[in-house]
Amino acid sequence: MNKEKDFLEKEPVGKLLFKLAFPTVAAQLINMLYNIVDRIYIGHIPDIGAMALTGVGVCMPLIMIVAAFAALVGYGGSPRASIFMGKKKPEEAERILGNCFSLQVMISILLTVILFLWNREFLLAFGASENTIEYAVSYMNIYALGTIFVQLTLGMNAFITAQGFAKTGMLSVLIGAVANIILDPVFIFVFNMGVRGAALATILSQALSCIWVLHFLFGEKTFLKIKKENLRLKSKVILPCLALGISTFIMQASESVISVCFNSSLLKYGGDIAVGAMTILTSVMQFAMLPLQGLGQGAQPIISYNYGARNTGRVKAAFWLLLKVSLCYAGILWLCVMLFPQGFAAMFTSDAELMEYTKTALRIYMAVMFMFGIQMACQMTFNSLGKAKESILVAVMRKFVLLIPLIYIMPALWRSNQTFAVYMAEPVADAIAVTFTAILFTVQFKKALAAISENGK
């Protein structure tokens, strides 16, 4: 491997993390705009904004599932590709890229068919009411057409970032996000298409991003290229990628399951306004989670490459820097939410009742968000080290062992205000999960570093 490809091993860790993390964080923030811009515009449609926003919010579980499948393949394969690059085995890394591309195309076709045939049934199960179901169906019928663009953009872009091309990865989502911001008001208001216009703007924008990503990975500037001879699926190549990607899949797909649990409970105790508030809460939570994931993705090539190259000092330095930056970001955003909750709510709705309701719910829901820097830094590092079992365990613990049961337990314990008790499940689960993750990571990180030190240079 030539010197140009060795920068992950040679450049100072602090400079390298900033160089890689800044574009990946920007990319995550830009990517967040796809759905959030839709919700901002939809929430301000005259007369029907609040109900339309709630309807589109019910679509989020399905949208999260589509993104989760992209993460299953892309975030499972890309760390392994980086590790093989660190081991100076680029041919193995390209086999991983080719297999992951083929699998994502297959998954995209299957998901498109499922979304077309059964989206109404899913949406009703996910918390849509007779007042919101038509808005939800109108959005999903069009969004389903763009499933393959979403899959390939999110999944394959991970391989661009994994090679250290963070700016190119950022441009992949910037192209689509700018297009979406421009097209949304045109289709929603000028052409009077409402929620259908928002969905159409989204899939056209994702198509542009997809073209950019594939042009790069089939081109000459990439270190790892999609080649015809690597497209045939081989179990020994793809199965380890899926094993590593399961944790990220669980983390993202479980958001879908959790949305269903939250929406059904909130509809029972608080009605459509409580579900509408949840749409805003999950949008604001994305402001916290996606940049933290972006920081982790920026650190991933550094940690994975140097883990493969057995450079323990750089692996350790990259993790500690990632942890410090993640904690600072999470703490600052938590403070902003606690001090100015109404400002965040006003971004998504002009309905006075919904805004006032959301203000209180937001403070409860995000009460311990300042701790999330620990959770995300540890979980993303587990992935970067190829530690599939540990990564899966921390994802399952937070979502399935803790949060889902608490959504139903908390209203039973706090009967004086059962609606807000549902929101309380999030901070209680998060506090326990972060403690568990920190303890597990401390033990396993030492073991991982000791293992490569024994076989080191």
pLDDT band at 388 (very low <50, low <70, confident <90, very high): confident
pLDDT above 80 for 256: no
Among 35-44, 52-61, 126-135, 160-169, whose mean pLDDT is lowest?
Answer: 35-44
Domain boundaries, the chain: 11-454
Q: What is the model's pLDDT at position 170? A: 85
Q: How far apart, in whole angstroms, are the C-alpha atoms of residue 376 and residue 297?
A: 10
DSSP state of 6: G
- How many CB atoms sit inside 10 A of residue 220's CB? 6
Give the range with max mean pLDDT: 89-103, 283-297, 307-321, 375-389: 89-103
Angle between helices 194-217 and 13-43 (to 10 degrees): 160
Q: Is the dihedral of CA 262, 397, 379, 431 positive or negative?
A: positive
Among 218-222, 225-229, 347-351, 379-383, whose mean pLDDT is lowest?
Answer: 347-351
pLDDT above 70 for 363: yes
Is this structure's pTM higher than 0.85? no
Q: DSSP 3-state assignment of 142? A: helix
pLDDT above 70 for 86: yes
pLDDT in tens, 236-250: 999 999 998 887 888
pLDDT in tens, 187-215: 988 898 888 998 899 899 999 999 999 99
Q: What is the mean pLDDT of the chain?
A: 87
- Note the Cα 50 to chain centre separation in Å: 25
pLDDT above 50 for 1: no
Mean pLDDT of 397-422: 89
Q: How far apart, in whole angstroms, are the C-alpha atoms of residue 65 and residue 440?
A: 27
Q: What is the model's pLDDT at position 22? A: 80
Q: Output 451 or 28, whichever has higher pLDDT.
A: 451
Q: What is the model's pLDDT at position 33? A: 66
* Residue type, position 78, single letter: S
**Which tokens in the block code for residue 295?**
């920081």
**Which tokens in the block code for residue 31?**
């990517």
Could you tell me which of 114, 380, 377, 148 has the C-alpha nearest to residue 245? 380
In angstroms, the first-to-last Cα distance of the chain is 18
Cβ(297)–Cβ(380) below 8 Å: yes
- How many CB atoms sit inside 10 A of residue 117's CB? 11
Please give the share of the chain, as a percent, with pLDDT higher than 90: 41
- Note the Cα 415 to chain centre separation in Å: 34
Q: How far apart, in whole angstroms, are the C-alpha atoms of residue 222 and residue 94?
A: 11
pLDDT band at 235 (very low <50, low <70, confident <90, very high): very high
Q: What is the model's pLDDT at position 34? A: 63
Q: How far apart, in whole angstroms, are the C-alpha atoms of residue 390 and residue 395?
A: 9
Among 271-285, 301-315, 325-339, 417-431, whose mean pLDDT is lowest?
Answer: 271-285
